[in-house]
Chains A and B, each alone.
Chain A
Amino acid sequence: MIPILFFFFAGLAIASALLMVTHKNPVYCAIFLIITFFALAGLYFLLGAQFLSVVQVIVYAGAIMVLFVFVIMLLNLSEEVRLPAGRRFQSGFGIVFAAILGVQLLVIAAAGTRVFGRLSGDTPVSGTVERLGATLFSTYLYPFEIASVLLLTGIVGAIILGSKKLPKEQ
Chain B
Amino acid sequence: MNAIPLNFFLLVAAVLFTIGVAGVLVRRNALVILMSIELMLNAVNLTFITFAAKWQTLDGQLFVFFIMAVAAAEVAVGLAVIISVFRLRGTVQVDEINLLKG
Interface residues of A (CB under 8 A from B): 2-3, 6, 10, 13-14, 17-18, 20-21, 26, 29-30, 33, 36-37, 40, 43-44, 47-49, 51-52, 55-56, 59-60, 63-64, 67-68, 71-72, 74-75, 77, 80-81, 83, 90-91, 93-95, 97-99, 101-102, 105-106, 108-110, 112-113, 115-121, 124-125, 127, 131-132, 135-136, 139-140, 143, 147, 150-151, 153-155, 157-159, 161-162, 164, 166
The residues in B between 57 and 75 inclusive whose CB is less than 8 angstroms from any CB of A are 57-59, 61-62, 64-66, 68-75
How many residues of chain B have a CB within 8 Å of chain A? Answer: 73
CB–CB B74/A154 < 8 A = yes
CB–CB A98/B21 < 8 A = yes
B38 to chain A, nearest CB (A): 7
CB–CB B73/A151 < 8 A = yes
CB–CB A151/B9 < 8 A = no
Taking each of B14, B82, B88, B93, which has the highest tally of chain A beta carbons within 10 Å of its own beta carbon? Answer: B14
CB–CB B11/A44 < 8 A = no
Q: What chain B residues lie within 8 Å of A55 (beta carbons)?
A: 65, 68
A32 to chain B, nearest CB (A): 9
CB–CB A101/B79 < 8 A = no
Complex alpha-carbon distance, A18 and B36, angstroms: 10
B100 within 8 A of A: no
The chain B residue with its CB closest to the CB of A163 is B80
Complex alpha-carbon distance, A130 and B95, angstroms: 48
The chain B residue with its CB closest to the CB of A157 is B77
Q: What chain A residues lie within 8 Å of B22 (beta carbons)?
A: 21, 94-95, 98
Complex alpha-carbon distance, A105 and B18, angstroms: 8
CB–CB B58/A158 < 8 A = no
